Amino acid sequence: MKTFFDARQHDHAPAMELHNGAYVPYAEHRGRMENVLATLSQVEAPRDHGIEPIRRVHKDNYLAFLQSAHERWVAAGRNGDAHGYAWPVVGRRPLNLNRIDADLGQFSFDASSPISAGTWTSAYWGAQSALAATEAVLGGERAAFALCRPPGHHCGADYLGGYCFLNNVAISTEAAIAAGKRRIAILDVDYHHGNGTQDIFYDRGDVLFVSVHADPATDYPFFWGHADERGEGAGEGTTLNLPLPRGSGLEAYRAALDTGLAAIRDFGADMLCVSFGADTFAGDPISQFALQTADYTPIARSIADLDLPTVIVMEGGYAVDALGANVAAFLAGFD
């Protein structure tokens, strides 16, 4: 399987994040990708597709913010990474205050996603990896893998969060539609719900979003991912959330996944984009499912049995020592 990654995706390097009330070392660090890369035999660097495919998903003011945020933070006399600390609640009037502190709140929804000097560069090239995998599949490959870092499924059209800055799977989806695909299915199999992806396509009838994830009644991102969220307007019925309780193992996971795969078949998709997170692994330090490394191959095989051109985009997975093996097991299901 063709795999795409650019070394500049290592440049994103925040030092600390706020987690459970304390500042702790940033979990989404470059060691994750180094462990995965060690298990892959062939990896290609993506070509630069430019910013236009990214602009199909993300608003211009948000992209301008991402590109300038750290520089503005330093110019304001701050050291280290840019952290938000004040957020507007729903119903507050939109204001353009032109102050980095306000913009960090305006364009984010949590405190776990600091912006470092290299964040924009890494996010940009992560998106280019997703675009390269999409291009490969559109060119005839049965499946291709984008080893994206930072991940993307938590960020929306104009907000960041959950370690995510550009929504790679949404960028892939829009690129496929621009190339002529009519109906795309997105399958999110990360432990955490892909709230940003859901938001981007919530009112779209040509994109089906299916997510198997931890119940947001107990787990991040809490405010999205409940089973009664089904889409709206033209997108009514094209969102399917399949939340599972903490501790779920292979049997429960496969049952939910089978429901999601049936929905994808019924939708009549002509292409599939998969948000794959290995934080469903039993040893993941911030997640609570019970999947084992050997489980990822049959899970992936059931997805491959849809027999759709498939772009696989890397999302979470924080048991770093096991991450490469877990990714390799998943990709093996597409052989």
The catalytic residue positions are 154
Q: Quick one: how far is CA 236 from the chain centroid?
A: 23
What are the structure tokens assigned to 241, written together?
A: 């959330």
> Are 190 and 281 in contact, with CB atoms under 8 Å apart?
no
The 3-state DSSP composition of the chain as helix, strand, coil percent (nearest 5) reads: 35, 15, 45
Q: Which residues make Cβ contacts (< 8 Å) with residue 322, sequence separation at least 6?
A: 278, 281, 283, 293
Taking the C-alpha atoms of residue 78 and residue 74, their distance in angstroms, rounded to an integer, is: 5
Strands 271-276 and 184-189: parallel
DSSP string of 3-15, one letter each residue: EE--GGGG----S
DSSP class of residue 38 equals T
Taking the C-alpha atoms of residue 139 and residue 183, their distance in angstroms, rounded to an integer, is: 17
Taking the C-alpha atoms of residue 263 and residue 112, their distance in angstroms, rounded to an integer, is: 33
